Amino acid sequence: MNIFPRVLIALPFLATFDVHAETFPFDSGRWQINAEQSSLENHLGRQSLKLLGGMAWLPGVEFTDGTITFDMSFSNAPAFSGVTWRMQDESNYEHFYVRPHRSGHQDANQYTPVFNGVSGWQLYFGDRYSAVANYPYDEWIAVKLLVSGSQAEVYIGDMEHPVFFIPELKREPKTGAVGLDSSNFSPIWFSNFRVDDSPVELTTQPELPAETMEPGMVASWQVSSTFAATSLDDVLVLDDNFKQSLTWSSLVIEPPGFANIARLRTFGEAADTVMARLVIESPIDQAVFLKFGYSDLARVFLNDRLVYAGDNSYQSRDFRFLGTIGLFDGLSLPLLSGKNELWIAVTEQFGGWGVMARLNDPTVLGSDLASE
């Protein structure tokens, strides 16, 4: 499901200029748009940009910290639309969007980083990434984003009290472009887009519990080069030629314990899968229990033999199933004395590309486990 279309053209970021405080009319010629549908039209008494299934951005506008404000209008139909900032290119940026059809619920909106074209909302979810908000429909709603370093605040409707505090922006705080986006579910109208790069102070931060990791979490993975998931169809034992075709890089986890594969690899039609590898040294022949999670599909191999295949993708179980990551699956691993290799083929479809695991046996050595 392609909720956020991947824009396949390069952003022309070469020409840059200071922003300070400026409004950017959509008919100014300064916007670049790549969308299934876009038009300038009068909506609810205002000149606006109608956007469906794509992005609109301001090439050359350099933004790190400051304030972005705009108005938006939508119906109660499903949609996922919002603002992008610190855009390094069309596939790497910070993203906040609203879910109009979830008004009044905890997931009425979403902050997520986008790495290499993959929006990570199935990895980044809960109180740190969304908040309850109530939306009026078919009206203009004011939105304000304050960004300061690695944190941000979002105001919706009420410009004095933030609806949502983002305690940690997940991308490195680099200067980049700003823009708007819309899913391909239903159109959104935007007006009064304004950027101010003056420094801002965030309001009192709410107390959120510290993010922790359980003891025994796998702290780092070896992640392979990408390949097509179909290459593993009906494979019960890994072939040496296939294994030798892969190259490897290390990827550390982030709280609460997952590795975001999109930080390292670029998703594509024939590049939707990687191997996440873990070397386990066991002093004796023994069985140990592994809890693990993934997004979206996984095939687990122990010492080259398939021991598990599963599907955790969006709506794979029923229409309410989100496919968010967690330690929801478990395996008994029959380890041999000495070196064992655990390989997990992780396939992305959309919404987040991740893997996590926890071993509960402290006698297992060499598996790079987190102590706390």
Give a yes or no: residue 98 inside a domain: yes
Instruction: Count Cβ neighbours within 10 Å for each residue of 239-260 and write b for 16 or more, e otherwise.
Output: eeeeeeebeeeebebbebbbbb
Same domain for 224 and 160, yes or no, is no
What is the residue-level pLDDT of the chain in tens, covering all 372 positions?
444 443 333 444 434 444 578 999 999 999 999 999 999 999 999 999 999 999 999 988 999 999 999 999 999 999 999 999 999 998 999 999 999 999 999 999 999 999 999 999 999 999 999 999 999 999 999 999 999 999 999 999 999 999 999 999 999 999 999 999 999 899 999 999 999 999 999 987 777 788 888 888 999 999 999 999 999 999 999 999 999 999 999 999 999 999 999 999 999 989 999 999 999 999 999 999 999 999 999 999 999 999 999 999 988 888 888 889 999 999 999 999 999 999 999 999 999 999 999 998 766 755 565 543
Q: State which of 146, 163, 196 marks the end of a domain.
A: 196
DSSP 369: B
For residues 130 and 107, is the Cβ–Cβ distance under 8 A?
yes
Residue 290's domain spans which residues?
220-359
Same domain for 192 and 224, yes or no, is no
- CATH number for the domain including 79? 2.60.120.560
Q: Is the dihedral of CA 38, 40, 45, 46 positive or negative?
A: positive
Q: State which of 139, 163, 196 marks the end of a domain.
A: 196
Same domain for 88 and 224, yes or no, is no
- CATH number for the domain including 230? 2.60.120
For residues 181 and 52, give the distance between their C-alpha atoms in angstroms, rounded to a whole number: 8
How many domains does one find in the chain?
2
Give the residue among 270, 256, 148 at the shortest CA–CA distance from 205.
Answer: 148
Same domain for 171 and 35, yes or no, is yes
Give a yes or no: residue 49 inside a domain: yes
pLDDT in tens, 209-265: 888 888 889 999 999 999 999 999 999 999 999 999 999 999 999 999 999 999 999
Give a yes or no: residue 299 inside a domain: yes
Same domain for 140 and 279, yes or no, is no
Q: In terms of DSSP H, where are the helices of 43-179?
A: none
Give a yes or no: residue 146 inside a domain: yes
Instruction: Say which residue the tokens 């590898």 belong to.
Output: 277
The burial of 30, by beta-carbon neighbours within 10 Å (0-12 exposed, 13-18 middle, 19 or more buried), is given as middle
Q: State which of 181, 196, 211 marks the end of a domain.
A: 196
For residues 140 and 217, give the distance between their C-alpha atoms in angstroms, rounded to a whole number: 46
Same domain for 239 and 91, yes or no, is no
Give a yes or no: residue 2 inside a domain: no
Give the residue among 97, 195, 79, 207 at the shortest CA–CA distance from 146.
Answer: 195
For residues 41 and 187, is the Cβ–Cβ distance under 8 A?
no
For residues 280 and 335, is the Cβ–Cβ distance under 8 A?
yes
Give a yes or no: residue 287 inside a domain: yes
The burial of 11, by beta-carbon neighbours within 10 Å (0-12 exposed, 13-18 middle, 19 or more buried), is given as buried
For residues 6 and 258, give the distance between their C-alpha atoms in angstroms, rounded to a whole number: 24
The vertex-78 CA angle with 75 and 79, nearest 5°, equals 85
The torsion angles phi and psi of 240, rounded to 5 degrees, stand at -60, -40
Same domain for 76 and 126, yes or no, is yes
* DSSP-assigned states of every residue in 279-347: EEEESSSEEEEEEEEEESEEEEEETTEEEEEEE--TTSSSTT------S-EEEEEEEPSEEEEEEEEEE
| Strand segments (E) across 14-115 | 21-23, 32-43, 46-57, 66-73, 81-89, 92-98, 109-115
For residues 295 and 160, is the Cβ–Cβ distance under 8 A?
no
Give a yes or no: residue 5 inside a domain: no
Same domain for 139 and 233, yes or no, is no
Q: How do 32-43 and 109-115 pair as beta strands?
A: unpaired
What is each CA distance from 297 to 241, 325, 352, in whole angstroms? 23, 11, 11
Same domain for 242 and 165, yes or no, is no
Give a yes or no: residue 33 inside a domain: yes
Same domain for 178 and 281, yes or no, is no
Same domain for 253 and 123, yes or no, is no
pTM given for the model: 0.89
Same domain for 151 and 234, yes or no, is no
For residues 79 and 352, give the distance between their C-alpha atoms in angstroms, rounded to a whole number: 18
